[in-house]
Amino acid sequence: MQLGSNSRVLILFALAVAAFLSWWLSSNTGPSFIPRAEKERHDPDYYLINFELTTMDDNGIPRHKLSADNMFHYPDDDTASLEKPYMVIYHNGVDSWDIRAERGLVSEKGKSILLEGEVFIKQIDKLSDRGLEIITSDLRVRPEDEFASTEQPIIIKDHYGVTEAVGMQANLKERRLQLMSQVKGNYQSLYD
């Protein structure tokens, strides 16, 4: 059976239309139209259970220690979440600041640690037997600078009495606390 020239043209036209539609569909429905996540998923790549990390100075003397029940590291932003973190910042081998919290978030490269929930800070002064306790929440600590701050309410207890305030900046190295606002205290006389 022989096809007429009109039939051949019609078949060639149909094949050309099919090829064009195939190309158009593949270019417009291919991978470029598949929705993509705008960011990587925030899933941990590793975790530690009951870990302890101690940072030393050049002479091998401990500078600070961080431990927690659990730590989960997230590669997308290089952060780590902590459950029940405990931190010790050592000062001159005699004093230390012991800090406990419910949760924590370690920033990229560990330069800053946000301690969340209730935070308990205790200053240990082994030479004088004096120290103080601070209760607050959401405390940001920069271990290398020996600096801590919060914008939340705080309670300070020491052998003089109780002080309350909102917000604090603490230079732990110099043992200096700057209370930001609404400061009030209840003090006892040292001569009672």
Question: Pairing mode, if any, of strands 147-158 and 161-171?
Answer: antiparallel
**Same-domain pairing of 89 and 162:** yes
Total domains, the chain: 2
Per DSSP, the residues of 141-182 read EEGGGTEEEEEEEEEEEETTEEEEEEEEEEETTTTEEEEEEE
* C-alpha span between 7 and 10 (Å, rounded): 5
Judge whether 15 lies within some domain.
yes
* 170 shares a domain with 96: yes
Residues 73 and 157 in one domain: yes
Res. 9: pLDDT tops 90: no
138 within domain boundaries: yes
Q: Tell me: pLDDT of 32 over 60.
A: no
Residue 41 inside a domain? The answer is no
Both 73 and 163 in one domain: the answer is yes
- Name the residue with higher pLDDT: 26 or 103: 103
Q: Which two structure tokens, joined as six digits, stand for 50?
A: 């009951």
Q: Which two tokens stand for residue 157?
A: 């207890």
Note whether residue 149 is domain-resident.
yes
Domain contains 84 = yes
CA–CA distance from 121 to each of 23, 34, 73, 158, 180 (Å)?
67, 51, 25, 12, 18
pLDDT tens string 55-87: 888 888 888 899 999 999 998 888 999 999 999
C-alpha gyration radius of the chain: 31
- The domain that contains 154 carries what CATH number? 2.60.450.10
What spatial distance separates the first Cα and last Cα of the chain, rounded to whole Å? 124
pTM beyond 0.75, yes or no: no
Which residue segment(s) compose the domain that 153 sits in? Answer: 46-187
Q: Are residues 26 and 67 in the same domain?
A: no
Among the listed ranges 8-22, 73-87, 93-107, 169-183, which one has the minimum average pLDDT value? Answer: 8-22
Report whether 65 contacts 88 (CB < 8 A). yes
Mark whether 176 and 117 lie in a shared domain. Answer: yes
Whether 183 and 117 map to the same domain: the answer is yes
> Does 61 fall in a domain?
yes
In a 10 Å sphere around its CB, with 0-12 CB exposed, 13-18 middle and 19+ buried, how is residue 30 labelled?
exposed
Question: In this structure, are 59 and 151 located in the same domain?
Answer: yes
What mean pLDDT value characterizes the chain? 82
180 in the same domain as 160: yes
Check whether residue 58 and residue 144 sit in a common domain: yes
What torsion, rounded to 10 degrees, do the Cα atoms 128, 149, 44, 50 define?
A: 10
Give the β-pairing of 86-91 and 79-83.
Answer: unpaired
Mind listing the pLDDT tens digit for each residue in 92-125?
766 789 999 999 999 877 789 999 999 999 987 7
Name the residue with tokens 């919290």. 101
Residue 192 counted as domain residue: no
What the block records as the tokens of 98 is 């012991």
pLDDT score for 153 = 96
Give the model confidence (pLDDT) of 144-155 as tens digits: 888 999 999 999
Q: 72 and 32 in one domain?
A: no
Please state the rounded mean pLDDT for residues 129-157.
91
Cross-strand bridge partners of residue 2 = none
Grade residue 181 by pLDDT with cuts at 50, 70 and 90: very high
Residue 92 lies in a domain: yes
